[in-house]
Amino acid sequence: MEKHEFQDYNFIQHELKLHDAAMESTSCGISISDARKPDMPLIYVNRAFCEMSGFLEEEVVGKNCRFLQGENRDQSARYIIREALDSGNHCQVLIKNYRKDGTFFWNDLIISPIRDKEGHLTHFVGVQNDVTDREEARREAAAKQIELEKTLETLKETQSMLIHSEKMNALGQMVAGVAHEINNPVAFVASNMHALKQMAEDLKGAYEQLNAAVDASGSEDLKAMARKLSQEADVDFISEDLDDLINSSSAGLKRVKGIVGSLRNFSRLDEADEKIASMKECIESTLEIAGSVVRNRLVIDCQLNDLSPIKCRPSELNQVFLNLIMNAAQAVKEDGRLEIKGSETTDALILTFTDNGLGMDAATQEKIFNPFFTTKQVGEGTGLGLSIAYKIITDGHNGKITVESKVGKGTSFTISLPKNA
């Protein structure tokens, strides 16, 4: 061997040793696989690779590196690696690998192709970094972020529901107060109407007796005067009309008393706790309250006879019924109908509210009970009505509320309330 050749050989040997020392001293795992052989077996792994994986060099050389994936073969990174190997391209992925003892580590893997002078693919080099601490911290932070976001949404929902509950409580107090204030003068007027009716009957009786006495023993001049006064005062008309006036006024007072009773039943401030109540009475009192809004929009068919009373919170259920009735009134355009039916099974009482309104598509039905979801225009609704109704039925009464709807055909809400909640 010539002297210069010997020097070149020594230089090459020195460079190779330097490269080997660099490969062994790095903290990154390094592997080389032969791309020319079937299944691309590993032909080299450095010390860091062995320390990272727990395998000895002789245990992995000759194998395809997929053994590091264990039984977890559904990772998306696996398909990215396969595409890079098939096309001879570079790739970088984060993949979950498994050590010899079965524990896992997150591997930040870089795979690069090696080509000869002619550009033919000969090998792949893989550089592995154990980023388990970083990745687990990131995942933990992401999980906490999701949990915080859920907590924030729950707090927003709870806050809105508390505000709504306070508003409903204030409304209930106001309604009860108005009902009480109306009830007193109505009772006073009703009592006076009863006395007026009795007095009118007495007055009519006295007038008839007076006429009879004049006719029986009065002079012709007295009889003529009596007839003239009677005609001028139109006594006969007043006598006939007075009964109608008193009867219609009494009927009006009875109607007012019924409305006052419905107001008091709807507010039910003394019924925040559970009690035995009739759903027929609850719905009828709610319809009375909603009457002014729905009267010109809906024809209501109520079929609620012979329903067993159940243990419930009537004031809360009244909110649910009012919401469903108002929604039906807003969903119809013309010739609106709302059918309210009641039935019962051995264990539950079933109520259905079915309208012939605009209906909803499947996507809307999936979100209809979500807080703040609304199909109404801005300013027309908060999106809380049905979500609160859902919570009142499910959480407050251990019941169920479901919806079925077809666009252009109408909507049906079904409420199931257990008899022994």
| 53: CATH | 3.30.450.20
Please determine, for residue 20, whether its predicted confidence score (pLDDT) is greater than 90.
no
Q: Residues 83, 63: one domain?
A: yes
Please determine, for residue 419, whether its predicted confidence score (pLDDT) is greater than 60.
yes
Q: Residues 344, 225: one domain?
A: no
The DSSP string of 274-307 is -EEE-HHHHHHHHHHHHHHHHTTTEEEEEE-TTP
φ and ψ of 405, to 5 deg: -155, 150
Q: Residues 251, 286: one domain?
A: no
Please report whether residue 116 resides in a domain.
Answer: yes
Count CA atoms closer than 13 A to 402's CA, side-chain side: 5
Please report whether residue 23 resides in a domain.
Answer: yes
Please report whether residue 201 resides in a domain.
Answer: yes
Mean of the pLDDT values across residues 159-175?
A: 60
- Helix axis angle, 235-267 relative to 314-331, nearest 10°? 110
Cα(326)–Cα(331) distance, rounded to whole angstroms?
9
Identify the bridge partners of residue 344 per DSSP, sorted by sequence position. Answer: 349
Please report whether residue 139 resides in a domain.
Answer: no
Please report whether residue 278 resides in a domain.
Answer: yes
Identify the bridge partners of residue 113 per DSSP, sorted by sequence position. Answer: 124
Q: Residues 246, 283: one domain?
A: no
Minimal CA–CA distance to 68: which of 18, 31, 28? 31
Q: Residues 183, 113: one domain?
A: no
36-40, 214-218, 353-357, 361-365: least confidently modelled range: 214-218
As for how many domains the chain has, the answer is 3
Task: With cut-offs at 50, 70 and 90, classify the pLDDT of residue 225.
Answer: confident
Cα(51)–Cα(104) distance, rounded to whole angstroms?
13
Length of the chain: 421
Question: Where among 207, 233, 267 does a domain terminate?
Answer: 267
Question: Where among 206, 233, 267 does a domain terminate?
Answer: 267
Please determine, for residue 51, whether its predicted confidence score (pLDDT) is greater than 70.
yes
φ and ψ of 365, to 5 deg: -60, -35
Q: Residues 338, 212: one domain?
A: no
Q: Residues 180, 120: one domain?
A: no
**Site of tokens 């051995």:** 346
9-13, 97-101, 328-332: least confidently modelled range: 9-13
Please determine, for residue 191, whether its predicted confidence score (pLDDT) is greater than 80.
no
Mean of the pLDDT values across residues 90-115?
A: 93
pTM over 0.95: no
Q: Residues 261, 286: one domain?
A: no
pLDDT digits (tens, 9 = 90+) for 261-312: 656 655 554 455 678 889 998 898 888 877 767 877 888 899 988 889 999 8
The highest-confidence range among 205-209, 259-263, 376-380, by mean pLDDT, is 205-209
What does the pLDDT read at residue 269? 47
- Helix axis angle, 132-217 relative to 235-267, nearest 10°? 160
Q: Which residue did the predictor score with more confidence, 273 or 5?
A: 273
Computed over every residue of the chain, the mean pLDDT equals 80
Q: Residues 385, 285: one domain?
A: yes
Please determine, for residue 105, whether its predicted confidence score (pLDDT) is greater than 80.
yes
CATH of the domain at 315: 3.30.565.10
Mean of the pLDDT values across residues 198-227?
A: 74
DSSP-based three-state secondary structure for 267: helix
Q: Residues 33, 72: one domain?
A: yes
85-94, 322-331, 371-380: least confidently modelled range: 371-380
What does the pLDDT read at residue 228? 74
Please report whether residue 258 resides in a domain.
Answer: yes
Mean of the pLDDT values across residues 34-52?
A: 92
What does the pLDDT read at residue 103? 93
Full residue range of the structural domain in which residue 200 is found: 165-267
Task: With cut-offs at 50, 70 and 90, classify the pLDDT of residue 6.
Answer: very low
Please determine, for residue 378, whether its predicted confidence score (pLDDT) is greater than 50.
no
Q: Residues 88, 201: one domain?
A: no
Please report whether residue 160 resides in a domain.
Answer: no
Q: Residues 288, 396: one domain?
A: yes
102-106, 242-246, 273-277, 308-312: least confidently modelled range: 242-246
Question: Where among 236, 267, 298 does a domain terminate?
Answer: 267
- Whether 226 contacts 166, CB under 8 Å: no
Mean of the pLDDT values across residues 74-79?
A: 84
Please report whether residue 276 resides in a domain.
Answer: yes
Minimal CA–CA distance to 322: which of 365, 353, 297, 276? 353
Per-residue burial over 132-162, b = 16 or more CB atoms within 10 Å of its CB, e = otherwise: beebeeeeeeeeeeeeeeeeeeeeebeebee
